Amino acid sequence: MTEETAQPNPVRLRTTLAGVPAYTPGKPAAPLEGVTAYKISSNENPYPPLPSVLEAVREAAGTINRYPDMGVTGLTAALAERLDVPSSHVATGTGSVAVLAQLINITCDPGDEVIYAWRSFEAYPIVVALAGASPVQVPLDADARHDLDAMAEAITERTRLILVCTPNNPTGPAVRADELRDFLAKVPQDVLVVIDEAYLEFTTEDTVPDALAIYREHPNVAVLRTFSKAYGLAGLRVGYAVAHEEVATALRKAATPFGVSDLAQEAAIASLTAYDELEVRVKELVGERERVVAALREQGWPVPDAQGNFVWLPLREDAVPFAQACQERGLTVRPFAGEGVRCTIGETEASDRLIEICGEWLTQRT
């Protein structure tokens, strides 16, 4: 008997699930005769793992019959030392998306409110809705930046958590240190503010906040970071939060037991050790980003400040057709229907092709 002919399944699922949007994964670019396909839709690092990192993973693979170190001791100690924070303030998870879900689980009862900017990271509405919390989305301003004044005004009695994504995925701008400090002065002490710095390593503006300094001054601030982007370990799933004692302890309670594999733990430690080498690659990507932004602006595209490893094309109703045109040229970009297209800075050839397609797009429209 197939599912199709069966009675509707009477199993009762949580009603909140109906409101949970599905995550749209970046698809691999379709193969095209004689054209190298590039996937620049998921903000991945185009560089393969460093030899030293691969070696650490190979070694860790020899013990995968065992559970990983549940306390994530080595990585936690390495992070604590690197960031100059107590180990008890570090909480790891299977990617920073998982840590984010833990943050919501430890702060929100059903109906409590989570404020974040919109458009921002598409995982936010998913993890908020899954927790049964209520999303409060505050529109970005005309420059595709967080409107921190409007976010402060959105705070109510029910607000438990505020997410600040800087640089903002998918639009690119980072918040400024001064505006973030002014904002924090308006947030009640019992509301947790999470600064999501997934793209911190790619930032170049000197107005970018020192989130760790801000966390040190504010017991209600946590910093969220990942090994998926600059560190190039997206496939291993490891991220972390830096938060004050009570918050970090609660985060560890809410974590999936044995979630972060030994492979991920060892790869992350090796990556911290080899950061000088990784930083060379990050600088290359930043240079490439500047080149792409300059070329697109030269063509007349209103590209917002790009502080991550991606650029935003505010195409509005043309977002999907543009992505389709890219796909036909072997380039997978990430459209947000009716809003815009996010393009990751990856291989040079991919950027060149993007610039070319963007140029042609404008000439066809004029």
Smallest distance from ligand PLP to CB 312, Å: 13
138, β-bridge pairs: 117
Smallest distance from ligand PLP to CB 166, Å: 9
39 to 58: interface string for ligand PLP, x by CB under 6 A: ----x---------------
Smallest distance from ligand PLP to CB 268, Å: 11
Would you say how long the chain is, in residues?
366
198 scored as a contact of ligand PLP (CB under 6 A): yes
How is residue 63 written in tokens? 């013990």
Task: Work out which of 239, 304, 335, 340 binds ligand PLP, going by CB under 6 A.
Answer: 239
Smallest distance from ligand PLP to CB 11, Å: 29
Smallest distance from ligand PLP to CB 223, Å: 12
351 scored as a contact of ligand PLP (CB under 6 A): no
Site for ligand PLP in 320-349 (CB under 6 A): none
By beta-carbon proximity to ligand PLP, the closer residue of 121 and 361 is 121
Task: Work out which of 38, 116, 118, 121 binds ligand PLP, going by CB under 6 A.
Answer: 121
On whether the CB atoms of residues 161 and 104 are closer than 8 A, the answer is: yes
The residues, any chain, with a CB within 8 Å of residue 182's CB and separated by 6 or more, are: 148
201 scored as a contact of ligand PLP (CB under 6 A): no
Smallest distance from ligand PLP to CB 163, Å: 9
96 scored as a contact of ligand PLP (CB under 6 A): yes
165 scored as a contact of ligand PLP (CB under 6 A): yes
Q: Which stretch binds ligand PLP (CB under 6 A): 48-56, 101-109, 186-194, 228-236?
A: 228-236
The residues, any chain, with a CB within 8 Å of residue 104's CB and separated by 6 or more, are: 114, 127, 128, 131, 133, 161
Q: Which stretch binds ligand PLP (CB under 6 A): 90-98, 128-136, 250-258, 290-298?
A: 90-98
169 scored as a contact of ligand PLP (CB under 6 A): yes
Q: How far apart (Å, rounded) are the C-alpha atoms in residues 77 and 344? A: 32
User: 38-39 and 113-118 as β-strands: parallel, antiparallel, unpaired?
Assistant: unpaired
Task: Work out which of 113, 196, 305, 339 binds ligand PLP, going by CB under 6 A.
Answer: 196
Smallest distance from ligand PLP to CB 329, Å: 25
Positions that interact with ligand PLP (CB under 6 A): 43, 95-97, 121, 165, 169, 196, 198, 226, 228-229, 234, 239
